[in-house]
Chains A and B, each alone.
Chain A
Amino acid sequence: DIVMTQSPDSLAVSLGERATINCKSSQSVLASSNNKNYFAWYQQKPGQPPKLLISWASTRESGVPDRFSGSGSGTDFTLTISSLQAEDVTVYYCQQYYSVPYTFGQGTKLEIK
């Protein structure tokens, strides 16, 4: 199984500042057949299902604010929130869908400093 490890487990950032969450996979999730990273980021607010933010490592979903961006390839990925807003304070998960089981990271809790 591919193990997804997020860092940090929790992060405190001031409003308006940049927030960076990292995710490392134990194996590459980059497919040589199509040069795509089978990797996604989700946001989950309390009492709600997760929301897809980024797919294919860097493709922002429709309606997701452009302050959210995804980067990385192979085994190392980053979610960046360029200017933290109050509504961004919640938990974020990464996921690989390269191989079964489609594993998630343990989650990163983002808080206001």
Chain B
Amino acid sequence: EVQLLESGGGLVEPGGSLRLSCAASGFMFSTFAMNWVRQAPGKGLEWVSCITGNAGRTFYADAVKGRFTISRDNSRNTLYLQMSSLRAEDTAFYYCAKADVNVGSCPSSVDYWGQGTLVTVSS
């Protein structure tokens, strides 16, 4: 059974930093690209970032480029999102999301999602 368990969310002041983690299990982690998708409370879905299975390529939404860094440790089956220079508009539930296609590349729908971790940016 595929499981994705996010952690690391919380309250942070504007300009601060936070690192999210996602522990994956139930599938061959290194062969799937992984995404972060966020959702502000009561709002729609926003794709944030994707990393290929071998971590060779990363992709970002313009809204977070230069501030967020996606990474993964395939030996630990864990996905990360390092967030810095946080802004109020980054407040959202952050979902760890597994790519649907087993080719390791990013263009893919998402077939499994974690339950999300809430990041609140406020003073």
Contacts and interface: CB of A to CB of B under 8 A. Distances in A.
A26 B47 CA distance: 17
Contacts of B88: none
A97 B114 contact: no
A84 B109 CA distance: 25
Nearest to B96: A49
Nearest to B111: A52
Contact of A52 (B50, B60, B109): B109
A52 B47 contact: no
B114 A49 contact: yes
A53 B60 CA distance: 24
A101 B47 contact: yes
Residue of B47, B50, B109, B114 most packed against chain A (CB within 10 A):
B109
B100 A55 contact: yes
Contacts, number: 61
Chain B interface residue number, banded: 20 to 34
Interface stretch (A14-22, A71-79, A103-111): A103-111
Interface string B52-64: 0000000111100
B115 interface: yes
A95 B107 contact: no
Interface in A69-113: 93, 95, 97-98, 100-107
A45 to B, nearest CB: 12
B108 interface: yes
